């Protein structure tokens, strides 16, 4: 692949970072990525990221969990072997439903929670032996890093980033791939 060039600009304050992101968006530069040590409130909106749909996925998983619980207990307790256990009515699902509600609830929550977490891991590409994608170790401690794709004059971009309060600006050339 051809050589790609990005600029890394480091900041030490999240407020400065926010104003820098807004400035870059206003100047219509493309922000590749922002690395922060902690969640910065409003950063996703400033960057113009699309809202997450993980809640919708979780709702669907919950519905699946409820269905699994219902079908499982309908089959086991009503259809397969309808025993008389302590006089509980096992003629139809609805007659004995109150006894099944705790399991229906728990399985709904179980499916909604676990499948949502797994979805999150898959979508954000996280797993135990994954190689960390960290451009600068300081971003996990007290520095903020904006990665901007180079477009047009590099010197102009350096100047702009310095103006926004960056403590360190460097050009990174990737030519491995």
Partner 1 sequence: MYTFSSRFRTVAIVLMIVGAIGVIYGFLTSHKSFEEVETMLEAEASEHGGGHGENTTHMTDVHTDDHINDHSEGVEGENARSEQEQSLESSKVEQSDMYIDETSADYGRSQSEVDIEAGDSEMNSEATNDESQGLLESQAHGDDGHSVSVEDHAMDHEEHVEHVQHQIANRPWSALYVAAFFFMMISLGVLAFYAIQYAAQAGWSPLLLRVMEGITAYLLPGALIVLGIAVLSGTVGHYNIFIWMDPEVVANDEIIQNKSGFLNLPWFIIRGLIFITGWSLYRHFSRKYSIAQDTADDNKYFIKSFRISAAFLVFYIYTESMMSWDWIMSVDPHWFSTLFGWYVFASMFVSGITVIAMVTMYLRSRGFLPLVNDSHLHDLAKFMFAFSIFWTYLWFSQFMLIWYANIPEEVTYFVTRFTDYKIPFLGMIVMNFIFPILVLMNRDYKRIPWFVVMAGLVILIGHYIDIFNMIMPATVGDRWYIGIPEISSILLFGGLFIFIVFTALTKAPLTMKRNPFIKESEHFHF
Task: Return the residue of 27, 53, 76, 89 that touches partner 1, per CB under 8 A.
Answer: 89
Which is nearer to partner 1, 101 or 172 (by Cβ)? 101
Shortest reach from residue 87's CB to partner 1, in Å: 5
CA distances from 73 to 23, 42, 81, 107 (A): 58, 45, 11, 12
CA distance 161 to 166: 6
Near partner 1 by CB under 8 A, which window of 5-13, 97-105, 142-150, 168-176?
97-105
Near partner 1 by CB under 8 A, which window of 29-37, 82-90, 122-130, 159-167?
82-90
Q: Is 122 helix (H, G, I), strand (E, B) or coil?
A: helix
Residue 35 φ then ψ, to 5°: -110, 125
Contacts of 155 by beta carbon, 8 Å cutoff, 6+ apart: none
Residues between 20 and 59 with contacts to partner 1, criterion CB under 8 A: 55, 59
Near partner 1 by CB under 8 A, which window of 25-33, 95-103, 109-117, 169-177?
95-103
When computed from its CA atoms, the radius of gyration of the chain, rounded to whole angstroms, is 26
Near partner 1 by CB under 8 A, which window of 8-16, 84-92, 127-135, 165-173?
84-92
Contacts of 113 by beta carbon, 8 Å cutoff, 6+ apart: 58
Which is nearer to partner 1, 96 or 139 (by Cβ)? 96
Task: Return the residue of 85, 101, 117, 118 that touches partner 1, per CB under 8 A.
Answer: 101
Query: Count of residues binding partner 1 (CB under 8 A)?
Result: 8
Q: Cβ distance 7 to 147 under 8 Å?
A: yes
Residue 41 φ then ψ, to 5°: -60, 125
87 binds partner 1 (CB under 8 A): yes
Interacting residue ranges for partner 1, rule: CB under 8 A? 55, 59, 84, 87, 89, 98-99, 101
């Amino acid at each position: 692949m051809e050589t790609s060039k990005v600029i890394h600009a480091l900041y030490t304050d999240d407020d400065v970072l926010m104003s820098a992101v807004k400035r870059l968006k206003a100047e219509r530069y493309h922000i590749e990525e922002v690395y922060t040590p902690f969640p910065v409130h409003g950063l996703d909106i400033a960057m113009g990221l699309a809202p997450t749909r993980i809640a919708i996925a979780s709702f669907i998983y919950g519905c699946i969990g409820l269905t699994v619980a219902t079908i499982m207990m309908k089959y086991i307790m009503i259809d397969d072997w309808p025993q008389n256990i302590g006089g509980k009515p096992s003629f139809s699902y609805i007659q004995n439903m109150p006894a099944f509600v705790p399991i229906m609830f728990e399985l709904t929550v179980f499916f909604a929670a676990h499948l949502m977490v797994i979805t999150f891991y898959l979508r954000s590409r996280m797993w135990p032996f994954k190689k960390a994608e960290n451009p600068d170790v300081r971003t996990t401690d007290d520095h903020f890093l904006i990665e901007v794709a180079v477009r047009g004059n590099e010197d102009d971009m350096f100047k702009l980033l310095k103006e926004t309060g960056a403590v360190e600006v460097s050009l990174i050339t990737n030519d491995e791939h």
